[in-house]
């Protein structure tokens, strides 16, 4: 897509799409039952064969008598892209996602005689123990009841679960985690000893917004190669080796001064050095995975994963293809020396938007800013596979700003928030979820069918590594800090921390 002038979708077109989405949701509502005479506050599940074929959320009935459901969420003046936007809006304003959220809530509020509200907590970008975690902690300690369910940043997921602040979602009858509108990959990964404390579904959109992608500059690619990246993805040839060959072709010292900086051309830009974890996971690298008995074991230091880490290290550290925020690359020194960005983490976006990098590690939320750049013709693909024998493309779940949802363990009636999360998840599929993924992301921002197809592949390949999310005893650090090491010392670093990491993992899993 080449900036805003390539395709200017009218409000009427987006309004028509929204109307179709809402019609789908309304039809689902009407199909569920014409009889909603459940007693006030009661929740029932139909047992007829006809209803059993419906999604679980459509079999639920209730009249909550005007009760208020309050969802705790994240606000962020510092980084608005981390903020919840899918819980509640005051009114329709013509934006397709905003209006889908409004219409979804209207359907649910009218059907179940309930009021949906949000309570957003200003949450600065702390590494952990965030403001919203502290709010949840205070709520639990004081036994207050100011909210019914909550969102929590993924970087605080381990802390909130290990603190015993969450109800077990598997014990709540209203929730059916086998339904397609729940993220079952996430549910499987986070289920420990028959307990699932946090989850993700079609209701939660910040995690979709924070999903990782590889963006590429079509015009620059055409000057280097006749490769068609979407075709390579379809054919299974989009491998790290082929990716690295293209990145190497792109890297050039444009001003000829013998030093690479923001004025030169790069193969790939990364916002932070730990973006290497995205390549590691995409190539099948794992930190922790289950053995044949379902017991989680540390595998980061096995032969295959060590080989993956070394391939990445050699490609990114021993060449001039990669601009990233790390000591060896001196990106920090660019700031204040003429590079017109405020922070090292913004360099990758600057290079890509100015045609100075072929590839960029990005997230879906980057698409609007790319589309605003006049003349930038870009596409997206998943992160590359290890080799052609690897069947699937994998996308690592974002473990910083993506949000997971849970129910406080102190809830007097966990069935009520459980019911609400179930229906919000189910009704979101054809309303807010489709508005964001199918309309805003695919039509409003990326425009072309190839990139829309690639986005589907990215979402389909979403995976969770609890070793990355929990970082037991620092078990993820040798990967996260891979490009800070002056030499490839991966094996020795794991040898030094593995016993402590195993002990930390045993404490969680009861080993």
Residue 460 domain flag: no
Q: 3-state DSSP: the chain helix, strand, coil percent, rounded to 5?
A: 45, 15, 35
Residues 106 and 181 in one domain: yes
Count Cα neighbours of 90 within 13 Å in the Cβ-side half-sphere. Answer: 0
The CATH number assigned to the domain holding 273 equals 3.40.190.10
Q: Which of 26-30, 112-116, 198-202, 439-443 has the lowest mean pLDDT?
A: 26-30
Residues 299, 388 within the same domain: yes
**pLDDT reported for residue 16:** 45
The answer to whether residue 5 is domain-embedded is no
* Predicted confidence (pLDDT) per residue in 107-146, tens digit: 999 999 999 999 999 998 777 778 999 999 999 999 999 9
Q: What is the pLDDT of residues 160-219, one digit of tens each?
A: 998 999 999 999 999 999 999 999 999 999 998 899 999 999 999 999 999 999 999 999
What would the mean pLDDT of 414-430 be, rounded to a whole number? 99
Residue at 464 is within a domain: no
Do both 110 and 69 map to the same domain? yes
Q: What is the pLDDT of residue 451?
A: 94
The answer to whether 151 and 123 are in contact (CB under 8 A) is no
Question: Higher confidence at residue 509 or residue 454?
Answer: 454
148 and 261 part of one domain = no
The pLDDT, as a whole number, for residue 443 is 86
Instruction: Name residues whose C-beta falls within 8 Å of residue 443's C-beta, 6 or more positions apart in sequence.
Output: 9, 14, 17, 452
> What are the tens digits of pLDDT across the range 321-361?
998 866 556 787 888 788 998 888 888 999 999 999 999 99
Whether residue 221 sits in one domain with residue 200: no
pLDDT top residue among 348 and 87: 87
pLDDT at 41 over 80: no
| pLDDT given at position 44 | 47
Residue 460 predicted with pLDDT over 80: yes
pLDDT range class, residue 511, cuts 50, 70, 90: low
Domain range spanning residue 172? 11-209+400-448
pLDDT interval class at 40 (50, 70, 90):
very low
Average pLDDT over residues 413-419: 98
pLDDT score of 329 = 62
* Angle of helix 415-428 versus helix 96-112 axis, rounded to 10: 140
Domain shared by 136 and 267, yes or no: no
Same domain assignment for residues 235 and 370: yes
In 3D, which of 225, 195, 186, 198 has the Cα closest to residue 459?
A: 186
pLDDT for the residue 424? 99
- Alpha carbons 133 and 121: distance in angstroms, whole number: 10
Which of 433, 448, 463 is where one domain is finished?
448
Radius of gyration of the chain (CA): 24
Which pLDDT band, with edges at 50, 70 and 90, does 282 fall under? very high
Please state, for a pLDDT cut of 90, what percent of the chain lies above it.
Answer: 71
Q: Measure the CA–CA gap between 71 and 14, rounded to whole angstroms.
A: 28
Tell me, yes or no, whether 240 and 358 share the same domain.
yes
Model confidence pLDDT, tens digit, residues 387-400: 999 999 999 999 88
- Pick the closest to residue 308 from 146, 463, 446, 490 (CA basis): 490
Strands (E), 103-217: 114-122, 149-153, 212-217
Q: Is residue 459 a part of any domain in this protein?
A: no
Q: Give the residue carrying structure tokens 């050095």.
A: 273
Is 58 found in the same domain as 33? yes
Is pLDDT of 439 > 60? Answer: yes
Query: Does residue 437 share a domain with residue 331?
Result: no
Q: Do 98 and 118 fall within a single domain?
A: yes
Per residue in 225-271, pLDDT tens? 999 999 999 999 999 999 999 999 999 999 999 888 999 999 999 98
Do 187 and 98 sit in the same domain of this protein? yes
**pLDDT tens-digit readout, 462-486:** 999 999 999 999 999 999 888 888 8
Strand-pair partners of 71: 118, 149
Pair 449, 44: CB distance under 8 Å: no
Phi/psi of residue 436, each to 5°? -75, -50
Q: What is the predicted pLDDT for the residue at 15?
A: 46
- Distances in Å between the Cα of 406 and the Cα atoms of 101, 136, 187, 196, 197 are 20, 11, 12, 9, 6
Instruction: Give the per-residue pLDDT at 414.
Output: 98
SS3 at position 124: coil
The number of domains in the chain is 2
Mean pLDDT check: name the lowest of 27-31, 306-310, 345-349, 471-475.
27-31
State the DSSP string of 243-306: HHHHHHHH-B-TT-SS--STTSBEEEE-SSGGGHHHHHHHTT--SEEE-TTS-EEE-TTSHHHH
Q: Is residue 20 part of a domain?
A: yes
Does 196 fall in a domain? yes
- Residue 500 is predicted with a pLDDT of 95
| pLDDT > 90? residue 280 | yes
- Round the average pLDDT of the chain to a whole number and report it: 88
In a domain, 1, yes or no: no
Asked, for residue 456, whether it belongs to a domain, the answer is no
């Amino acid at each position: 897509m080449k900036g805003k002038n390539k395709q200017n979708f009218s409000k009427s077109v987006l309004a028509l799409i929204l109307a179709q989405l809402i019609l789908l949701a309304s039809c689902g509502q009407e199909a569920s039952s014409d009889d909603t005479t459940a007693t006030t506050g009661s929740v029932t599940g139909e047992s007829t064969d006809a209803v059993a074929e419906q999604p679980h959320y459509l079999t639920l009935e209730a009249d909550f008598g005007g009760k208020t459901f309050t969802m705790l969420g994240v606000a962020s003046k510092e980084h608005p892209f981390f903020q919840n936007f899918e819980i509640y809006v005051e009114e329709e304003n013509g934006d397709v996602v905003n209006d889908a959220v409004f219409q979804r809530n209207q359907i649910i509020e009218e059907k179940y005689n309930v009021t949906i509200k949000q309570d957003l907590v200003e949450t600065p970008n702390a590494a952990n123990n965030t403001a919203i975690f502290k709010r949840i902690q205070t709520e639990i300690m004081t036994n207050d009841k100011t909210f019914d369910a909550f969102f929590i940043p993924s970087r605080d997921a381990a802390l909130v679960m290990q603190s015993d602040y969450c109800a077990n979602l598997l014990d709540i009858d209203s929730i059916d985690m086998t339904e397609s509108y729940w993220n079952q990959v996430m549910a499987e990964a986070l289920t420990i000893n028959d307990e699932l404390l946090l989850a993700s579904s079609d209701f939660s959109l910040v995690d979709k917004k924070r999903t990782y992608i590889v963006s590429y500059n079509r015009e620059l690619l055409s000057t280097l190669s006749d490769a068609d990246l979407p075709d390579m993805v379809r054919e299974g040839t989009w491998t790290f080796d082929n990716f690295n060959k293209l990145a190497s072709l792109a890297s050039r010292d444009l001003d000829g001064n013998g030093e690479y900086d923001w004025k030169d051309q790069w193969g790939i830009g990364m916002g932070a050095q730990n973006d290497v974890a995205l390549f590691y996971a995409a190539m099948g690298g794992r930190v922790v995975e289950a053995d044949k008995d379902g017991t989680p074991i540390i595998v980061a230091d096995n032969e295959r994963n060590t080989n993956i880490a070394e391939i990445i290290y050699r490609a990114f550290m021993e060449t001039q293809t990669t601009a990233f925020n790390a000591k060896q690359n001196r990106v920090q020194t660019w700031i204040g020396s003429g590079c017109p960005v405020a922070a090292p983490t913004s360099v990758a976006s600057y290079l890509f938007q100015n045609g100075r990098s072929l590839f960029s590690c990005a997230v879906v939320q980057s698409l609007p800013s790319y589309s605003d750049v006049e003349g930038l013709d870009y596409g997206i693909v998943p992160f590359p596979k290890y080799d052609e024998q690897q069947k699937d493309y994998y996308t690592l779940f974002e473990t910083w700003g993506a949000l997971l949802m849970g129910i406080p363990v102190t809830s007097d009636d966990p069935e009520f928030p459980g019911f609400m999360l179930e229906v919000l998840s189910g009704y979101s599929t054809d309303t807010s979820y489709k508005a964001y993924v199918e309309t805003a992301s695919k039509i409003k921002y990326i425009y072309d069918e190839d990139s829309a197809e690639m986005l589907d592949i990215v979402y389909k390949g979403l995976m969770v590594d609890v070793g990355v999310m929990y970082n037991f005893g620092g078990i993820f650090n040798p990967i996260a800090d891979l490009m800070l090491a002056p030499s490839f010392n991966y094996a020795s670093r794991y040898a030094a921390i593995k016993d402590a990491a195993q002990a930390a993992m045993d404490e969680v899993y009861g080993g």
